[in-house]
Structure 1
Amino acid sequence: MHIEQPVSQDEIIPGLTREQCHAARLARDARFDGRFFTGVLSTGIYCRPICPARAPYESNVQYFRFAAAAEQHGLRPCLRCRPELAPTQGGDMPALVAQVLTRIERGELADSTLGALATEAGIAERTLRRQFEQHLGASPKQVEQTRRLLLAKRLLTETQLPITDIAFAAGFASIRRFNDAWSHAYGLAPSTLRKQECKQEGSLHPQEGSANATTQASLTLQLTYRPPFDVQAMLAFYRLRAIPGLERVDEHGYERRHRVGEQEGWIRIEPAPGNQLRLTLRDLPPGVLPDILYRVRRMWDLDADMARIGARLGQDPLLARIQERWPGVRLPGGWDEYEVMLRAIVGQQVSVKGAITIMGRLVARTLAQFGVSALPTPAQLCELDLDGIGMPGSRIRTLQGLAGVLASGALSLATASDEQFLALPGIGPWTIAYWRLRTGQDPDAFPASDLVLQKALGGGVKLPVREVETLSTAWQPWRAYAASWLWHAMSEQPELLTQAGTSQQTEETTS
């Protein structure tokens, strides 16, 4: 479906008019899933654009950008299309608001206060509340309450966890508060919803308190994305970069160790039917779910709006050819900011294979010295014996220098500026841009000094950094995706770029 740009209505949601929302929901277009929600005022529910139910009359509809705004309006989530499964929508809001929203989505407000989050973000709490109302259509409290309720709804529907465990996993301080919030929002008891879902699916959940329910060692959830998505390209990326002793990738999925306190388990991600991935947690407490869901969605770039990104980048003939050849290539991320920074430093001026070998040695030495099969924490890295690990002394000093400022609290990866990074020995513009790109912090990050990008844009000939930067300005604000596409093309079919570059140079010469 192609939705024409109407001229008769202003945007009601960033990038979308009412006419576009109307056309998208009538077509049940999955590319718009999560970009908006349809509030049906006559029934008091809100739906995803892909809802299979009969489409309501437009006169009975109000569109919302976020689920929290719909719930603040007094609407309940549809039981058929399940808004809690929709990809999230970000961008088009002040950076500080987006930063706090991300921390709320990770579940951090369950253990903190809005005032503390605002202070750490460098914004006044009153200003933050006002900007949430302006840009999200809901208060921070409503955003957090909606997050908890929708996660609880997912766990009620998709798992056999006892309701008490679900309440705490979603972030409620007590079962009483959970029951009160649930009843107020949805008008029925959590157990009633679970029974309704069981009847529809023809299955039975274990009774509350049964051994089967309380000793369950694995937990599986479905993660939705907007098409297109080249899942196999993502698996290939992680297969090449899997850290020995920490990660493993087979032909069907990705796995990694994850440690919470003294408890160690595994997570697995694999393709699932429809526009979904399947996430399985083994031997991990349900309380880690908000953080794990955030990490996985960011790492696998599940919330990207590829139709919107592609429309922008596709205006460039070279990127349009890449997009046509490999539709759905996204921006692979890392597990967390710290791991990505270690990868970026270790990967300076070495091959991917060489960098991964060294990362595996870091895990092995951490196991030998501290008894934990994981990358060293900043404090451990300060003490770790790195002699003979395969890196020059200057890079070892960079690693341990970074670890020192992180362990002391002098630097926070969550809030560090480029200037603070540049003040550290051994960290330059390439490292910073690559780190921001792989952490998902900046979709416009672009390491112009990257040798592969220089050759990709030069048709096989290394272009000067300044010329690469000039060429990339046309791709703003999605230059990180352009870099990902160019890297992918150079690894899969470099002659496509070489031929394109030669042809472009010939045209420039003859014009």
Structure 2
Amino acid sequence: MAYESMPPPEVCDRARRAKDARFDGLFFTAVRSTRIYCRPVCPAPTPKQQNISYYPSAASAAAAGYRPCLRCRPELSPEVWQRGSDDGVQRALALIAEGALQEGSIEDLAVRLGISSRQLRRQFLASTGATPIAVHTTRRLLLAKQLLTETQLPVTQVALAAGFNSLRRFNAAFVEGCGMPPTRIRRQRVETPDNALVLRLGYRPPLDFAAMLAFLAKRAIPGIERVTSESYERVLGPREASGYIRVTAEKSRPELLLQIADSDPRAIPDIVRRVRRIFDLDADLVAVHAALRESPLLARGIKQRPGLRVPGGWDGFETAVRAVLGQQISVAGATTLARRLVENFGERREPAREGLDRVFPTPERLRDAALESIGLPKSRAATLRALARAVIDGRIDFRGGQSLDSFVERFVALPGIGPWTAQYMAMRGLGHPDAFPAGDLVLQQVLGGDKRLTERETDLRSQAWRPWRAYAVLHLWHLSGELKKGKSDVVR
């Protein structure tokens, strides 16, 4: 059966034989003689052609009766879907990743997407080869398998982290999905120094981790984030139950290492999801580059920085506030305002980590705050208060599964938020791959060459790069530093 989201069989054949990491997660190889499914990069001996079948997702292979390989570990594969895409299945996958089926039903999910549950199942089977429930179940079991393999969390806590409230149900589901009890997987665990909780997060290479850290470092909020040339650190959670994460690059494999400390195990899926969004780990750069290379300018950018991705934000509201603070001023100026905002309106953490001792202000805290006291113009302070009220009232949110047009439409209805700010929020706060702030001065200058383009001309030029325009934005911003030295320090 041909699936919409999977490469053609001949491409799968070549990628499997070459163990090509660029196709990791885009398909899975199921071996009929062993009843095991593997990643394209599996180090095991290559099976005979007549014994294999290809599946577009781990869930579809599991639904066909295969169990995950213990050597290549399918739980480490990057996702197939693109966060924020307006495609119905992609929007549903984003909602499932946020836990939509943990408490809700298929019918509830379909209502949020504006389609029938029957249509949703049909679309899922055509694209992923599995039903939404099967995708949700497989995600939970693969997370549990990773936690059992890489951490020393007790099995009861692993079950909670994977969304199971009953240890008996967890054990039964694990045996059915993985072909063995959780305790047998635990015996496969690799020891880690100091009993640290460190998870491996896979991606399809290349990834320009240094460029990502440089981008985040310029925009890091003091007291909440710390970014060096080698790592990203952050404190999270409420002031009285503060958690901590640190992200570094694995030198020998296409993986990042996520260290988690002092966090409730039930928060692990959300932490992993947010880190993957910040570093854009599920990007399919083969597809992105194929769309962008038609432009000679973007082809040049791709050649120079083939691993460039779209940096996301940890929290949608935090990213939106940061975008408003940065309207019409430099990156450094916006960071100064963000520091003042946190110092004046953010709570202090107890206990605090050195240099990481603050909580970002909540919408409730900013709703009626005297924001002019940190040096904000009255109009921008009013915009932040309106933004906070809209979040509290539920008129806007940063949940997955939103279409780009509806997201932008609701944000530009707020005072002081225009298309540029709304598109920037969609790009970094929502992780939408097609967000494109056509009103950006730097984009207009770089694309216009000797003549600055209008917003309409810039938007028209971008249509050929759909649905990956956010990646074009990053390449053009980087190119601006070369083409217009000293003129590119505008907040983006």
TM-score between both structures, scaled by the size of structure 1: 0.87
**Helix, strand or coil for the counterpart of 2:207?**
coil
- Is 1:45 the counterpart of 2:36 in the alignment? yes
5 Å-filtered alignment, 1:327-406, equals 327-367=306-346, 373-406=358-391
Give the drift of 1:354.
Answer: 0.9
**Helix, strand or coil for the counterpart of 2:314?**
coil
Could you tell me how far apart the structure 2 residues matched to 1:288 and 1:239 are? 25
Question: Of 494, 505, 508, which aligns to 2:483?
Answer: 494
Give the drift of 1:288.
Answer: 0.7
**Helix, strand or coil for the counterpart of 1:123?**
coil
**Helix, strand or coil for the counterpart of 1:388?**
helix
Residue type at the aligned position of 1:341: A
Question: Of 261, 267, 279, which aligns to 2:258?
Answer: 279
Give the drift of 1:164.
Answer: 0.9
**Helix, strand or coil for the counterpart of 2:359?**
coil
Could you tell me how far apart the structure 1 residues matched to 2:76 and 2:129 are? 20
- Cross-structure match for 2:131: 139
**Helix, strand or coil for the counterpart of 2:259?**
strand
Could you tell me how far apart the structure 1 residues matched to 2:181 and 2:447 are? 59
Question: Of 392, 403, 421, which aligns to 1:407?
Answer: 392
Residue type at the aligned position of 1:320: A
| TM-superposition CA deviations, 1:147-203 (whole Å, max 9, x none) | 1110010011101111111111111111100101111223321111222x15xx6x5
**Helix, strand or coil for the counterpart of 2:243?**
strand
Give the drift of 1:112.
Answer: 3.4
Question: Of 202, 212, 215, which aligns to 1:237?
Answer: 215
Could you tell me how far apart the structure 2 residues matched to 1:112 and 1:336 are? 23
Tell which has more relative contact order, 1 or 2 (C-alpha 8 A, sep 6+): 2
Question: Of 21, 25, 28, which aligns to 1:30?
Answer: 21
**Helix, strand or coil for the counterpart of 2:199?**
strand
Query: Are the counterparts in 1 of residues 5 and 128 from structure 2 also a CA contact under 8 Å?
Result: no
**Mean Cα displacement is larger for which, 324-333 or 18-27?**
324-333
Give the drift of 1:332.
Answer: 0.9
Question: Of 113, 121, 133, which aligns to 1:129?
Answer: 121
**Helix, strand or coil for the counterpart of 1:268?**
strand
Residue type at the aligned position of 1:418: V
| TM-superposition CA deviations, 1:351-372 (whole Å, max 9, x none) | 1111111111121122369998
Residue type at the aligned position of 2:73: R
Query: Are the counterparts in 2 of residues 366 and 373 from structure 1 also a CA contact under 8 Å?
Result: no
Give the drift of 1:457.
Answer: 1.3
Could you tell me how far apart the structure 2 residues matched to 1:28 and 1:290 are? 28
Query: Are the counterparts in 2 of residues 460 and 497 from structure 1 also a CA contact under 8 Å?
Result: no
Give the drift of 1:475.
Answer: 1.7
- Cross-structure match for 1:222: 200
- Is 1:257 the counterpart of 2:235 in the alignment? yes
Change (3 A) 1:448 1:495: same
Residue type at the aligned position of 1:223: L
Count of equivalent residues: 474
Change (3 A) 1:389 1:260: closer
What 5-or-longer segments of structure 1 have no aligned partner? 1-9, 206-211, 499-511
Give the drift of 1:13.
Answer: 4.7
Query: Are the counterparts in 2 of residues 252 and 270 from structure 1 also a CA contact under 8 Å?
Result: yes
| TM-superposition CA deviations, 1:304-350 (whole Å, max 9, x none) | 11122112211211111111122211111111222221122111111
Give the drift of 1:460.
Answer: 5.7
| TM-superposition CA deviations, 1:419-477 (whole Å, max 9, x none) | 22222111111111111111354312211110111111122642222222222222222
- Cross-structure match for 1:114: 106
Change (3 A) 1:15 1:463: farther
**Mean Cα displacement is larger for which, 91-100 or 261-270?**
91-100
Could you tell me how far apart the structure 1 residues matched to 2:148 and 2:348 are? 42
**Helix, strand or coil for the counterpart of 2:197?**
strand
Give the drift of 1:12.
Answer: 4.3
What 5-or-longer segments of structure 2 have no aligned partner? 351-356, 488-492
Give the drift of 1:128.
Answer: 2.4
- Is 1:430 the counterpart of 2:408 in the alignment? no
| TM-superposition CA deviations, 1:226-252 (whole Å, max 9, x none) | 111111000100111110111111222
Residue type at the aligned position of 2:265: P
Query: Are the counterparts in 2 of residues 489 and 497 from structure 1 also a CA contact under 8 Å?
Result: no
- Cross-structure match for 2:147: 155
| TM-superposition CA deviations, 1:53-73 (whole Å, max 9, x none) | 111122222111110011001
- Cross-structure match for 2:66: 75
**Helix, strand or coil for the counterpart of 2:434?**
coil
Could you tell me how far apart the structure 1 residues matched to 2:58 and 2:240 are? 36
Change (3 A) 1:191 1:370: closer
Give the drift of 1:286.
Answer: 1.4
Residue type at the aligned position of 1:224: G
- Cross-structure match for 2:284: 305
Could you tell me how far apart the structure 1 residues matched to 2:121 and 2:86 are? 13
Query: Are the counterparts in 2 of residues 36 and 49 from structure 1 also a CA contact under 8 Å?
Result: yes
- Cross-structure match for 1:478: 468
- Cross-structure match for 2:274: 295
**What is the root-mean-square deviation in Å for CA atoms of aligned residues?**
2.5
Larger Rg: 1
Residue type at the aligned position of 1:34: G
Could you tell me how far apart the structure 1 residues matched to 2:55 and 2:176 are? 21
Could you tell me how far apart the structure 2 residues matched to 1:477 and 1:323 are? 17
Query: Are the counterparts in 2 of residues 457 and 497 from structure 1 also a CA contact under 8 Å?
Result: no
- Cross-structure match for 2:490: none
Give the drift of 1:110.
Answer: 2.3
Could you tell me how far apart the structure 1 residues matched to 2:13 and 2:98 are? 32
Query: Are the counterparts in 1 of residues 101 and 133 from structure 2 also a CA contact under 8 Å?
Result: no
Could you tell me how far apart the structure 2 residues matched to 1:388 and 1:447 are? 30
Percent sequence identity is 47
Query: Are the counterparts in 2 of residues 369 and 384 from structure 1 also a CA contact under 8 Å?
Result: no
Query: Are the counterparts in 2 of residues 260 and 284 from structure 1 also a CA contact under 8 Å?
Result: no
TM-score between both structures, scaled by the size of structure 2: 0.90
**Helix, strand or coil for the counterpart of 1:227?**
coil
Question: Of 82, 87, 92, which aligns to 1:95?
Answer: 87
**Helix, strand or coil for the counterpart of 1:387?**
helix
Question: Of 422, 434, 448, which aligns to 1:444?
Answer: 434
Could you tell me how far apart the structure 2 residues matched to 1:393 and 1:369 are? 26
**Helix, strand or coil for the counterpart of 1:223?**
strand
